[in-house]
């Protein structure tokens, strides 16, 4: 049993169907197709980073497409999953949660005080009642 399988992770390597892996030219064509589709998805994700859209999610989707065929993408995806899991565990730590709740509360109080000062000074007028 490989070390990867003991951790519950699938073995590295191509996940192409066996009849495709058995034929060298067909497997190479399959890999080119997977690479092109994954590249298109990653490029779309990069375009979505400054534009509206789930950029990082689409980029990770493209990496997952690549990971069906390429070992380097599988390793990058495993590393990313490991880091996300570690960050999730840190965020769920009671001390960190308490700190985040305190900071959020302080921030909301500051925003509320500033909004109150603004409303006291300038009042509240509905946009359709503003006279030019």
Q: Which domain holds residue 111?
A: 94-129
Instruction: For tokens 């859209």, name the residue.
Output: 53
Whether residues 21 and 81 share a domain: the answer is: yes
Nearest CA among 16, 55, 11, 56 for reference residue 35: 16
Residue 44: per-residue pLDDT: 92
pLDDT (0 to 100) of residue 7: 61
Question: Please, what is the Cα angle at 35 between 50 and 27, to 5 degrees?
Answer: 170
Same domain? For 28 and 73 the reply is yes
Distances (CA, A) of 89 to 26, 76, 82, 95, 131: 43, 20, 11, 12, 54
- Tokens standing for residue 41: 């998805």
pLDDT (mean) for 9-19: 70
Are residues 61 and 22 part of one domain? Answer: yes
Exposure class string for 73-108: b at 16+ Cβ within 10 A, else e = bbeeebeeeeeeeeeeeeeeeeeeeeeeeeeeeeee
Name the E strands within the chain.
Answer: none
Mean pLDDT (whole number) for 123-127:
75
**Total of domains in the chain:** 2
> Which DSSP category does 92 fall into?
T
- 23-58 pLDDT, tens digit per residue, is 778 878 888 888 999 999 999 999 998 888 888 889
More confidently predicted of 73 and 22? 73
pLDDT per residue as tens digits for the range 57-70: 898 899 888 888 88
Statement to judge: residues 84 and 119 lie in one domain: no
pLDDT in tens, 82-122: 988 888 888 788 888 888 899 999 999 999 999 999 998 88
Same domain, 78 and 104: no
């Amino acid at each position: 049993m490989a070390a990867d399988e003991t951790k519950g992770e699938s073995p590295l390597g191509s996940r192409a169907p066996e009849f495709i892996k058995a034929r060298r030219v067909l497997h190479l064509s399959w890999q080119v197709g997977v690479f092109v589709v994954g590249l298109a998805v990653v490029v779309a994700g990069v375009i979505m980073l400054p534009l509206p859209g789930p950029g990082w999610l689409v980029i990770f989707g493209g990496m997952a497409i690549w990971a069906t065929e390429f070992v380097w993408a599988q390793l990058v995806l495993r590393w990313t999953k490991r880091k996300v899991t570690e960050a999730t565990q840190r965020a769920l730590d009671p001390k960190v949660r308490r700190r985040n709740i305190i900071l959020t509360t302080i921030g909301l109080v500051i925003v509320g005080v500033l909004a109150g000062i603004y409303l006291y000074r300038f009042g509240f007028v509905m946009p359709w009642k503003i006279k030019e």
